[in-house]
Amino acid sequence: MAIIPSDQQPPPRPGTKPPAQPRLVAPQQQAQDISENSLRPRELKDYLGQSELKQSLGIAVAAARQRAEALDHMLFYGPPGLGKTTISMLIASEMGTQIRITSAPALERPRDIAGLLVSLQPGDILFIDEIHRLNKVAEEILYPAMEDFMLDITIGKGQAARIKRLPLKPFTLIGATTRAGAISAPLRTRFGLVQRLRFYTAEEMQAILLKNAQILQIQLLPDGAEAIARRARGTPRVANRLLKWVRDYAQVHAAAAIDAQVAAAALDMLQVDHAGLDPVDRQILSTLLLNYQGGPVGIDTLAAAISEDVATIEDMIEPFLMQCGFLQRTPRGRVATALAAEHLGLDPRLAAAATLPLFEDLSLE
């Protein structure tokens, strides 16, 4: 079944197997999110939720302004689509500085990162997405740059090699990652502020949806927004995508406005259930419950059982299932809870003892 709106979908070449459908509820950026920038809040007051984060930032920004210095280096972590890139852009506009946006895989060669560092103006923000993927050489260039605003470059080779230090303009590095645990300790300790982004509440999601419906000139009623919000996995990026899908659906069905009924009908078509779970999520839980007595099951086994790769499961799928209380990560593997069994309409006794010690590999502690 077509999951993304047809105008975004490339026609399959004749005789080729169509590629696997991207999941509409997947939090990572997809081709159809290309218009995402139009929905990115331009002012801090439009960045809803994440009050803890905004509070810490307010203090950091005010202090840096008073001292007329660059902001402390910051690390934002948490699942995709929660607003890490957006908040970084807002910080730049609050500080009245430029932001240079890049991502770790684009910084493969030493000269990539050195070139960027040299080009920064005083107070500029360098935003590195997926910072856990930086290679060792790039990281080592960053250490003195972050600490002393110095760029160490090696001149010559072998015995004749020597290091020359070039001064840099004071700048702020903002790193974003879905995997705080994968960042090396020396890099992590060089960030002054480390903040986790949280899933949004249903109310926050509803407010974001109503605001974005206005921007997109969609007739969205409060109960329609509530219905979408509940299924949007606490993730604004997913909410925006579902909103666009529901808009298309309403248009085709000539619905004047989007109320709870229209929204539910549109989302049912995608097989996104009332908790926001899609078939892949449900497959993980039912595999655990029906094939492995609820677990614990090692992540590799689970990945093989449902033909997904480990990183996708860990970064894109599990955080939300854990947030819902449907899945736990334990030292011995993944466990489905009684709540998950109930959600799927299965016997809760299928779940493993749900009281195993928790460990949360997104946290830094």
Ligand X SMILES: Nc1ncnc2c1ncn2[C@@H]1O[C@H](COP(=O)(O)OP(=O)(O)O)[C@@H](O)[C@H]1O
Which are the catalytic amino acids?
84-85, 129, 178, 237
Q: Which is nearer to ligand X, 49 or 295 (CB)?
A: 49
To the nearest 10°, report the CA torsion of 55, 60, 62, 68.
Answer: -170
The least CB distance from residue 358 to Mg ion, in Å, is 27
Task: With residue 241 as reference, give the H or E element that holds it.
Answer: helix 236-252
Residues 23-42 that bind ligand X (CB under 6 A): 36, 39-41
Residue whose Cβ sits closest to ligand X: 83
250: which 2 tokens? 């309403």
Question: Minimum CB separation from Mg ion for residue 107, in Å?
Answer: 16
Binding mask 323-362 for ligand X (x = CB under 6 A): ----------------------------------------
Of residues 32 and 85, the one with the C-beta less far from ligand X: 85
Minimum CB separation of residue 149 from ligand X in Å reads 26
Contact between 22 and 3 (Cβ < 8 Å): yes
- Residue whose CB is less far from ligand X, 39 or 288: 39
- Considering the complex, state which of residue 123 and residue 234 has its C-beta at the smaller distance from ligand X: 234
Interacting span for Mg ion (CB under 5 A) from 80-88, 120-128, 142-150, 309-317: 80-88
Local structure of residue 48 (DSSP, 8 states): -
Q: How far apart are CA 363 and CA 359, in angstroms?
A: 9
Closest CA to 341 of 284, 304, 286: 286
Q: What is the DSSP letter of 233?
A: T
Number of other CB atoms surrounding residue 147 within 10 Å? 10
Contact 326, 340 (CB under 8 A): yes
Size of residue set near ligand X by CB under 6 A: 20
- Residue corresponding to tokens 């929905």: 39
Answer for which of 50, 85, 97, 172 binds Mg ion (CB under 5 A) is: 85
Cα separation, 239 vs 24, in Å, equals 10
Q: How long is the chain?
A: 365
- Could you say which residues in the range 42-101 bind ligand X, by CB under 6 A? 47-50, 80-86
Task: Choose the contact partner of 123 out of ligand X, Mg ion, none; CB within 5 to 8 A by kind.
Answer: none
Per CB under 6 A, contacts with ligand X among 155-184 are 176
Q: 329 contacts which partner out of Mg ion, ligand X, none, CB within 5 to 8 A by kind?
A: none
Query: Which distant-in-sequence residues (6+ apart) come within 8 Å of 364 by Cβ?
Result: 77, 180, 181, 188, 194
Nearer to ligand X, 177 or 328 (CB): 177
Residue 83: name its binding partner from Mg ion, ligand X, none (Cβ under 5 to 8 Å by kind): ligand X
Write the single-letter amino acid at 72.
D
Stretch that binds Mg ion, among 85-93, 102-110, 146-154, 180-188 (CB under 5 A): 85-93
By a kind-dependent CB cut-off of 5 to 8 A, residue 237 interacts, out of Mg ion, ligand X, none, with ligand X
User: 232 to 261, contacts with ligand X by CB under 6 A?
Assistant: 236-237, 240
* H runs (alpha helix) in 120-219: 136-148, 185-188, 202-215
Nearer to ligand X, 40 or 100 (CB): 40
Q: How far is the CB of 257 from ligand X (least distance, A)?
A: 22
DSSP code per residue over 266-319:
HHHHTT--TTS--HHHHHHHHHHHHHSTT--B-HHHHHHHHT--HHHIIIIIHH
Taking residues 102 to 141 in sequence order and writing x for each that binds ligand X by CB under 6 A, - otherwise, the string is ----------------------------------------
Nearer to Mg ion, 40 or 169 (CB): 40
Distance from C-alpha of 140 to C-alpha of 270, rounded to nearest angstrom: 46
Whether the CB-CB separation of 96 and 65 falls below 8 Å is answered with no
Distance, in Å, from the CA atom of 54 to the CA atom of 50, rounded to the nearest integer, reads: 6
**Which region among 83-91, 144-152, 186-194, 290-298 touches Mg ion (by CB under 5 A)?**
83-91
Number of chain residues interacting with Mg ion (CB under 5 A): 1
Residues that bind ligand X (CB under 6 A): 36, 39-41, 47-50, 80-86, 176, 208, 236-237, 240
Residues that bind Mg ion (CB under 5 A): 85
